A and B are shown apart, each in its own frame.
Chain A
Amino acid sequence: MKFICLGYIDAAAFAALPDAERHAMMDSCFAYDDYLRANGHFKGGEALQPPETAMSLRYANGRVVVTDGPFAETKEQLGGIMILEARDLNHAVDLISKHPGAKAGPWEIRPAADLGEMVRESEARRRARRPA
């Protein structure tokens, strides 16, 4: 099963860490990512640039409204996402709870949804609507 794991981080607190601690933290995170890769659990992922680089789009009153920054206005911000291959939810929890990044901020684990059937139905609808 695929799980999308969202890792949150308090960027200000992380930046305030002494260099040695921050380096140790990052080294252990990357080492664990390598361990996940070596065992076929890491199916992709990216770290995110800080929240001030984000844009948010929302549809309102018939048009798209664009604003600065991410939606959530909390101390912890999304720091990165990972696509994780795990046998089941408990296996995903086990894998992520060993991630050193879990010490820096919370993670959210969401099973990936299979929209295959929905996409096929939608394709059929769109084909039917197309003039012959």
Chain B
Amino acid sequence: MAESPADDLHARLDAVYRAEAGRVLATLIRLLGDFTLAEDALHDAFNAALERWPREGVPANPRAWLISAGRFKAIDALRRRARFDAAHADIVDTLQGAAAAVVDDELPDDRLRLIFTCCHPALPPDARAALTLREVCGLTTEEIARGFLTSAPTIAQRIVRAKARIRDERIPYQVPTGAELPERIGAVLAVIYLLYNEGYSASSGPALTRVELSSEAIRLGRVMLELIPEPEVLGLVALMLLHESRREARVSAAGELVLLEQQDRSIWNPTFIREGVALVERALASRRFGPYTLQAAIAAVHAEAPTPEATDWPQICALYAALLALQPSPVIELNRAVAVAMHQGPAAGLALIDELVRRGELRDYPLVSAARADLCRRLGRREEARAAYAEALARARTEPERRYLQKRRREME
């Protein structure tokens, strides 16, 4: 079927929107100094394109055209508003003064400023994620609310408050430099990691994963990678890609949880694995890597094992030990215990978990009982396994997890 020129232009405009909206918005926020004004200007600019490009053709540099159109639309809007609010008159003057010189082919990429501002440590952590999804990824309030299984007004409040905070505390719209940079990169990576995690393993609800959040996290990670190719950025993108490679295999056609051991490795995504492994190797070679890179390295060992039996468990145990030294955490200890169980047998792993429990760690973490139950089952300690499955069941957060645990518990009857 031949596409009409109008369809073609629509498709082209859609592609430009997907590719450029983030950068255009980020630059408009810098030029206009106001999130809301810039969001309106962005949409006005795309409406203008919809109207003018069919007549005038697609400009040679669509991004520069859109930024320029957005800025003029914002000045128009402010002028109209100045009629009933005198405070806007001054802004119009300032904007017009500064305007003409700004747009050229050498536009800086302002997305980094936007990411760093949305993930500023002065904002509450849950607001950082919501603001980043809306301003950097272009999701609507309603889409974000669905992603986090909460109501739109709750998310709207977070965003309103976060924007007010940026304004009131005069959070600068810039990429931090010097001593501040590593810590601030950490804050951005933490938001991306949180988004990915929420999509990889939903914290509640009917489904096991929420693909939209994961793909947005990967998209953001790639933007960071393009602009700040620091080892931990490489590591985090690698980590996400390697986990993402197993998405299809992790859930059966019936929506049931499939554990690593039982997964059909032939449907793991080889493109993601290749890219992930290459990124981990680059990050490790830098010798300035951190926890994300080590976690990615562990995921890479799994990804490269053709069968569960062929997994290099000693290597995984060593990586967990390095990770634990870098970032002591009971959750990492638990994961290490499972790896040790695979390497040295279930009894050795169980001893490590029981030690964790004795210290009173992870009391409400649902995976402790699940891991304990599994090791008891392998040791043939059916009574204990049954009790641990019951405990895990009481704490399970998603329906497929619950069904999996119920099935295992029945096997122990």
Please tell me which one of the listed residues B77, B84, B156 contacts residue A90 in the complex, with CB atoms under 8 A apart.
B156
Contact A93 B39 (CB under 8 A): no
A38 interface contact, C-beta 8 A: yes
Looking at the assembled complex, report how far the CB atom of A62 sits from the nearest CB atom of chain B, in whole angstroms. Answer: 37
Chain A stretch 82-132: residues in CB contact (< 8 A) with chain B? 87-91, 93-94, 98, 100, 111
Q: What is the 8 Å Cβ interface bit string for chain B, positions 51-78, against chain A (1 contact, 0 not)?
A: 0000000000000000000000000010
B274 interface contact, C-beta 8 A: no
Interface segment among A11-19, A25-33, A71-79: the answer is A25-33
Give 6 nearest A-B pairs by CB, closest first: A88-B140, A28-B84, A31-B84, A88-B141, A89-B141, A89-B156
Please tell me which one of the listed residues A1, A38, A100 contacts residue B80 in the complex, with CB atoms under 8 A apart.
A38
Contact B152 A31 (CB under 8 A): no
Could you list 20 A-B pairs, sorted by A, with CB under 8 Å? A27-B84, A31-B83, A32-B81, A35-B80, A39-B40, A39-B77, A87-B39, A88-B134, A88-B142, A89-B141, A89-B152, A89-B155, A89-B156, A90-B159, A90-B160, A93-B160, A94-B36, A98-B81, A100-B84, A111-B152
Looking at the assembled complex, report how far the CB atom of B81 sits from the nearest CB atom of chain A, in whole angstroms. Answer: 6
Q: What is the 8 Å Cβ interface bit string for chain B, positions 107-127, against chain A (1 contact, 0 not)?
A: 000000000000000000000
Q: Nearest residue in B to A97 (C-beta to C-beta)?
A: B160
Question: Given the complex, which residues of A lie within 8 Å of B160, measured CB to CB?
Answer: 90, 93
User: CA of A27 to CA of B85 in the docked complex: distance in angstroms?
Assistant: 11
Contact B152 A35 (CB under 8 A): no
Interface positions of B (Cβ within 8 A of A): 36, 39-40, 43-44, 77, 80-81, 83-85, 134, 140-143, 152-153, 155-156, 159-160
Contact B84 A1 (CB under 8 A): no
Question: Given the complex, which residues of A lie within 8 Å of B39, measured CB to CB?
Answer: 87, 91, 94
How many A residues, CB 8 Å from partner?
Answer: 18
Contact B84 A32 (CB under 8 A): yes
User: CA of A35 to CA of B85 in the docked complex: distance in angstroms?
Assistant: 12
Looking at the assembled complex, report how far the CB atom of A117 sits from the nearest CB atom of chain B, in whole angstroms. Answer: 17
Looking at the assembled complex, report how far the CB atom of A21 sits from the nearest CB atom of chain B, in whole angstroms. Answer: 14
Looking at the assembled complex, report how far the CB atom of A108 sits from the nearest CB atom of chain B, in whole angstroms. Answer: 11
Looking at the assembled complex, report how far the CB atom of A42 sits from the nearest CB atom of chain B, in whole angstroms. Answer: 14
Interface centre among A87, A98, A111 (most CB of B within 10 A): A87
Question: Given the complex, which residues of B lie within 8 Å of A111, measured CB to CB?
Answer: 142, 152
Question: Given the complex, which residues of B lie within 8 Å of A93, measured CB to CB?
Answer: 156, 160
Question: Given the complex, which residues of B lie within 8 Å of A38, measured CB to CB?
Answer: 80
Question: Given the complex, which residues of B lie within 8 Å of A90, measured CB to CB?
Answer: 134, 141, 156, 159-160
Chain A stretch 1-49: residues in CB contact (< 8 A) with chain B? 1, 27-28, 31-32, 35, 38-39
User: CA of A91 to CA of B40 in the docked complex: distance in angstroms?
Assistant: 9
Looking at the assembled complex, report how far the CB atom of A25 sits from the nearest CB atom of chain B, in whole angstroms. Answer: 10
Q: Nearest residue in A to B81 (C-beta to C-beta)?
A: A35
User: CA of A93 to CA of B43 in the docked complex: distance in angstroms?
Assistant: 16
Q: Nearest residue in B to A40 (C-beta to C-beta)?
A: B47
User: CA of A90 to CA of B35 in the docked complex: distance in angstroms?
Assistant: 12
Q: Nearest residue in B to A88 (C-beta to C-beta)?
A: B140
Question: Given the complex, which residues of A lie within 8 Å of B81, measured CB to CB?
Answer: 32, 35, 98
